[in-house]
Amino acid sequence: MKKRILVTGGAGFLGSHLCERLLNDGNDVICVDNFFTGRKENIAHLLSNPYFEMLRHDVTFSLYVEVDQIYNLACPASPVHYQFDPVQTTKTSVHGAINMLGLAKRTKARIFQASTSEVYGDPEIHPQPESYWGKVNPIGIRSCYDEGKRCAETLFFDYHRQHNVDIRIARIFNTYGPRMHPSDGRVVSNFIVQALQGQNITIYGDGSQTRSFCYVDDLIDGIVRLMNLEEGSTGPINLGNGSEFTMRELAEKVIRLTRSKSQLIFQPLPQDDPRQRRPDLGLAKEKLSWQPSIALDEGLKMTINYFEALCGSPSGLDGLLNFHRQSA
Ligand SMILES: NC(=O)c1ccc[n+]([C@@H]2O[C@H](COP(=O)([O-])OP(=O)(O)OC[C@H]3O[C@@H](n4cnc5c(N)ncnc54)[C@H](O)[C@@H]3O)[C@@H](O)[C@H]2O)c1
């Protein structure tokens, strides 16, 4: 049955893929975004669809629409962007959650929260199960994001217990793919942009720290499955990819796939950068019958194709990088 679905942060990287998927599934989609990190280009191809609607709106303010489901993704996700205005980042997570939960309560809509592996901080347990409470610095430069997301989870569970709101929480681990912003400083986009421009590839630390990388289509499938589970399936559930790679391995793959002549250069690790992070996906497999299916090489090729096409687009990769340097 066609549902009316609100996607906050719908013009961003993950949000735009989610809007596309929900439209393809036959739903009516309202996309809300303040375009802080989102781009009109991400959703331009959806604007001619009569079941797609775009609202420029900041989730820190109340929103009155009638919907059946809400996916709350609004929040800058990369450290460069969430540290640009940390107070606004916390407001987006906390006030945004309160506003969207209020809307869910009034409309009796089911509501999904895009939480993050950052709630585990610099973990002492590896891989991280959902039962782990995390090791997070409350006063560091990443805290606006980490603690904002943790507080949002608290609000979701309190609205659930106190007001019976039907909630879903996914803790999303590193995800990559087409429509990542080229200047958002995330490792996959950074490496690809540097390789395509023939610049040296910057590795922070000695390159032995590991991360797992999930391709965007796999992640969106996991999110939609969680949203459509039977009532009472609150989560939190980890979503990501269990295969772990060192930063050096990732850089070498990108150089090979782009046939770049870039060299690796090394810089000091930023403050509070986790050494290692990988999801325990047991619960996702059991509850959602889900596991990622796209291998890193395959996903990187699709992402590289996107960035190559961006180099030849009217705004161009350079234009986008410059635009972002000015606005950030
Ligand atoms: N991509 C990942 O690897 C990852 C990992 C963990 C969690 N997440 C979460 O998933 C969500 C989407 O992440 P993304 O990677 O697509 O990032 P993104 O920055 O591309 O998307 C975030 C979107 O939210 C919008 N936004 C920011 N503040 C807003 C506000 N106050 N009001 C309205 N819109 C606002 C931005 O303009 C952007 O379109 C975020 O909540 C992020 O924390 C992403």
Write out pLDDT tens, residues 70-100: 999 999 999 999 999 999 999 999 999 999 9
From first to last of the 328 residues of the chain, give the pLDDT tens digit: 899 999 999 999 999 999 999 999 999 999 999 999 999 999 999 999 999 999 999 999 999 999 999 999 999 999 999 999 999 999 999 999 999 999 999 999 999 999 999 999 988 998 999 999 999 999 999 999 999 999 999 999 999 999 999 999 999 999 999 999 988 888 999 999 999 999 999 898 899 988 899 999 999 999 999 999 988 899 999 999 999 999 999 999 999 999 999 999 999 887 666 667 789 999 999 999 999 999 999 999 999 999 999 886 655 666 556 544 443 3
The best mutation among 16, 31, 32, 37 to test binding of ligand 1, ranked by most ligand atoms within 8 Å of the C-beta, falls on: 37
The tens digit of pLDDT for each residue in 116-170 reads: 999 999 889 989 999 999 999 999 999 999 999 999 999 999 999 999 999 999 9
CA of residue 74 to ligand 1 center, whole Å? 5
The best mutation among 36, 87, 144, 223 to test binding of ligand 1, ranked by most ligand atoms within 8 Å of the C-beta, falls on: 36
Residue with tokens 């393809």, as numbered in its chain: 24
Task: Name the token pair of 70.
Answer: 């809400």
CA of residue 153 to ligand 1 center, whole Å? 16
CA of residue 136 to ligand 1 center, whole Å? 20
Q: Which atom of ligand 1 is nearest to the CA of 91?
A: 31
CA of residue 182 to ligand 1 center, whole Å? 15
Active centre residues (catalytic): 145
List the residue whose alpha carbon is closest to atom 12 of ligand 1: 73
Q: Which atom of ligand 1 is nearest to the CA of 174?
A: 3
Instruction: Note the pTM of the prediction, 2 decimals.
Output: 0.94
Helix H, strand E, coil C: the string for the chain is: CCCEEEEECCCCHHHHHHHHHHHHCCCEEEEEECCCCCCHHHHHHHCCCCCEEEEECCCCCCCCCCCCEEEECCCCCCHHHHCCCHHHHHHHHHHHHHHHHHHHHHHCCEEEEEEEHHHHECCCCCCECCCCCCECCCCCCCHHHHHHHHHHHHHHHHHHHHHCCCEEEEEECCEECCCCCCCCCCHHHHHHHHHHCCCCEEEECCCCCEEECEEHHHHHHHHHHHHCCCCCCCCCEEECCCCEEEHHHHHHHHHHHHCCCCCEEEECCCCCCCCECCECCHHHHHHHCCCCCCCHHHHHHHHHHHHHHHHCCCCHHHHHHHHHHHHC
- Cβ neighbors of 63 (< 8 A, separation 6 or more) are 32, 55, 57, 99, 100, 103
List pocket residues of ligand 1, CB cut-off 6 Å.
8-9, 11-15, 33-38, 58-60, 73-77, 92, 96, 114, 116, 172, 174-175
96: left (phi over 0), alpha (psi -120 to 50) or beta: alpha
CA of residue 263 to ligand 1 center, whole Å? 31
List the residue whose alpha carbon is closest to atom 35 of ligand 1: 74
Q: Which atom of ligand 1 is nearest to the CA of 88?
A: 31
